[in-house]
Each structure stands twice: as structure tokens, then as C-alpha cells.
């Protein structure tokens, strides 16, 4: 059975401030749980928000597996192989009238890469990779979710990303232990 998550403003914010739009523009995105052979997981962070999130981003083509491989090379500086699909998330983000359809993959690091492969936008935002143990990542995600629940995350899209990415990570861990 495929894991499918549906999120809307009411699931993220106690008092959603943006009305439901009459229609949503669709956007395909990809995310990855990236496991390193040393039992560490790869995430991205930025000094702008200070949270950890799964690697990934907007899909530029319909080949979603190639897209997540590209994103991991850009953001984490690693070449990955795809283990399988974790699931999907559909997010209805009222502020920008966007419907995000995100596919999340389980991946494994095959090789570390050299050079800076980030996009200019990622460089501008100071996006950088961080590697965490499973226990530490779980603790961080829990703290981040609690901040979202208390209304302490000042970035609209980041609040969605925190909730979605934690659920994907938890689903990965659950399936791995089956």
C-alpha cells in the first residue's frame, strides 16, 4: 500500500490566514531520504530559517527518479541510488494557490562528489548539507514540528515542508523496520 499524505493550511496553522482559492496551480516536486553508508542521513539547512529538511525540489522533467538524483547531487554533493518510493504528498497551499504533488524516494549514497553544484538561488540562500544520526534527526524533526504547532515558524512554505518531511522520514523508518 502506498503512503499518501494530504496537507492543507488548516493542518499546518492553528488559525489559517489565507482563504481557500478557487483553483490551484499544480507543481511537481521530489524529496529524498538519503542514507549514507555510515548510518547518517543527509538533510539540507539554511541560515535563513535554521531548520533541517529533506533534499529535493521542483521537478524540471517528468523523470522523477532522475530529478531526485540531480537534487541530491546539487544539494548534498552525493551520487545516490534509488532504493524505492516512500510515498507521495499532496499539499494545498492557499497563500500562493499552489497544489504541490511531492514524490519521496528512499536513496542510498553511492559516491561523494566534489565541487559546488548548488544553483545560484541555493547559494544565495546559503543552503548547505548536514548529516545526522537517526536519533538526532528524529529529535530535531520533533522539535521543529512542535515549533510549527506553536506558531513559531515564520516561513509559510517552510512550515509545510517541516511537517511533510518529518512524515516522509517517519514512514521511511517504519518501512525499514518491517
Q: Could you report the average pLDDT of every consecutive run of 10 residues in the chain (178 residues)? A: 91 95 97 92 94 96 97 96 97 98 97 92 93 97 97 96 98 85
pLDDT digits 0-9 by tens, 30-65: 999 999 977 899 999 998 889 999 999 999 999 999
How far is residue 170's CA from residue 148's CA, in Å, rounded to a whole number? 17
The pLDDT of residue 39 = 86
Helical pair 134-149 and 156-176, crossing angle rounded to 10 deg: 140
Distances (CA, A) of 115 to 58, 74, 76, 118: 22, 10, 11, 9
Domains, the chain, ordered by start:
3-176 (3.90.79.10)
The pLDDT of residue 176 = 83
C-alpha cell, 138: 528524529
Of 162, 169, 160, 178, whose CA–CA distance to 105 is shortest?
169
Q: Which residues of 155-173 are buried (b: 16+ CB within 10 A; e: fewer)?
A: ebebbbbbbbbbbbbebbe
The pLDDT of residue 103 = 98
The pLDDT of residue 2 = 83
**What pTM value is reported for the model?**
0.95
Report which DSSP code applies to 21: P
The pLDDT of residue 178 = 59
Beta-carbon count within 10 A of 67 CB:
22
The pLDDT of residue 18 = 96
Strands (E), the chain: 3-8, 25-35, 40-45, 55-58, 78-93, 98-112, 128-133
Amino acid at each position: 500500500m502506498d503512503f499518501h499524505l494530504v496537507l492543507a493550511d488548516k493542518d499546518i496553522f492553528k488559525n489559517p490566514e489565507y482563504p481557500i482559492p478557487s483553483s490551484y496551480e499544480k507543481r511537481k516536486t521530489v524529496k529524498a531520504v538519503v542514507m549514507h553508508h555510515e548510518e547518517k542521513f543527509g538533510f539540507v539547512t539554511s541560515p535563513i530559517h535554521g531548520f533541517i529538511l529533506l533534499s529535493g525540489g521542483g521537478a524540471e522533467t517528468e523523470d522523477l527518479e532522475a530529478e531526485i538524483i540531480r537534487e541530491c547531487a546539487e544539494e548534498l554533493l552525493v551520487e545516490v541510488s534509488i532504493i524505492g518510493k516512500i510515498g507521495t504528498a499532496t499539499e494545498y497551499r492557499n497563500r500562493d494557490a499552489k497544489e504541490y504533488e511531492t514524490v519521496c524516494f528512499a536513496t542510498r549514497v553511492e559516491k561523494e562528489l566534489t565541487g559546488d553544484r548548488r544553483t545560484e538561488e541555493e547559494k544565495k540562500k546559503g543552503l548547505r548539507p548536514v548529516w545526522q544520526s537517526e536519533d538526532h534527526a528524529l529529535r530535531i524533526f520533533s522539535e521543529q514540528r512542535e515549533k510549527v504547532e506553536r506558531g513559531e515558524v515564520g516561513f509559510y512554505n517552510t512550515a509545510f515542508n517541516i511537517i511533510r518531511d518529518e512524515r516522509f522520514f517517519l514512514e521511511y523508518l517504519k518501512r525499514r523496520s518491517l
